[in-house]
């Protein structure tokens, strides 16, 4: 149980275009999902907390107009990188908490999306 998927697993786009990444909880409901960014040989940095049915909460320094988050259902959150630039190239990973789990603080991670902006 507790499987999280992401799509696509990798994407290459041209500078200035927008890219949408999907995060799905496959066998559980998640009112809260988290989006992380990981640069090569670095740790995971939380970008935003995605809440079902409400606006996302962004971490300091993360541009909310550039990284649009939508959490329209209990199993799906999307991250759209708008007007992507080469410096946005990174590994984007989502995670989700199981609403019905005995321990709701455990986070399950998706497989990540490798974004390369040319």
Partner 1 sequence: GENVEQHPSTLSVQEGDSAVIKCTYSDSASNYFPWYKQELGKRPQLIIDIRSNVGEKKDQRIAVTLNKTAKHFSLHITETQPEDSAVYFCAASWGAGGTSYGKLTFGQGTILTVHP
Which residues of this chain interact with partner 1, rule CB under 8 A?
A: 32, 34, 42-46, 49, 57, 91, 93, 95, 97, 104-112, 114
CA 84-89-91 angle, to 5 degrees, is 125
Tokens 């670095």 belong to: 42
Closest separation in Å from C-beta 71 to partner 1: 14
Q: Which DSSP string corresponds to 100-114?
A: TSSSTT-EEE---EE
**Closest residue by Cα to residue 77 from 114, 39, 38, 113:** 113
- Of the pair 46, 82, the CB lying nearest partner 1 is at 46
Closest separation in Å from C-beta 46 to partner 1: 6
- Is the CB of residue 36 less than 8 Å from the CB of residue 45? yes
- Of the pair 82, 89, the CB lying nearest partner 1 is at 89
- Of the pair 87, 105, the CB lying nearest partner 1 is at 105
Closest separation in Å from C-beta 101 to partner 1: 12
- Of the pair 32, 82, the CB lying nearest partner 1 is at 32
Closest separation in Å from C-beta 19 to partner 1: 18
Q: What is the rounded CA–CA span in Å between residue 38 and residue 57?
A: 19
Q: What is the rounded CA–CA span in Å between residue 4 and residue 109?
A: 6
């Amino acid at each position: 149980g507790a499987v999280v998927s992401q799509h696509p697993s990798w994407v290459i786009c041209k500078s200035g275009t927008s890219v949408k990444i999907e995060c799905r909880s496959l066998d559980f409901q998640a009112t809260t999902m988290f989006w992380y960014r990981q640069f090569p040989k670095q740790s995971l940095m939380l970008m935003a907390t995605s809440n079902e049915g409400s606006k996302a909460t962004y971490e300091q320094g993360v541009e909310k107009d550039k990284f649009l988050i939508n959490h329209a259902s209990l199993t799906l959150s999307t991250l759209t990188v708008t007007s992507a630039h080469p410096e946005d190239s990174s590994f984007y990973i989502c995670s989700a908490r199981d609403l019905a789990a005995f321990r709701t603080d455990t986070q399950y991670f998706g497989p990540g999306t490798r974004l390369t902006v040319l």
